Amino acid sequence: MRDLVLEFGPAEALDTLLLRPGLLYIGICCAPDPALGVLLAELAADLCFYVPAIISHELLRRHVHPDVLP
């Protein structure tokens, strides 16, 4: 459980509290079609979530569990 919190916690907090709502707002306001804005905002938010999650996973795997092979 601790590893899940370390791996996904920072990315989830950033995504839920700041990035996803902000990107949805910007996407809806700036896109010519609101549906396109939502789609692009969701894709950008997913990218912003998974990049820190992958980095956290790799750091956790290398530093906390270095004996576990990939």
Higher-confidence position of 23 and 49: 23
Higher-confidence position of 26 and 13: 26
pTM for this predicted structure: 0.71
User: Tokens 């938010």 belong to which residue?
Assistant: 45
Residue 9: the pLDDT is 80
Work out the burial of residue 6: count CB atoms within 10 Å of its CB; fewer than 13 is exposed, 13-18 middle, 19 or more buried: middle
Q: Are 20 and 6 in contact (CB under 8 A)?
A: no
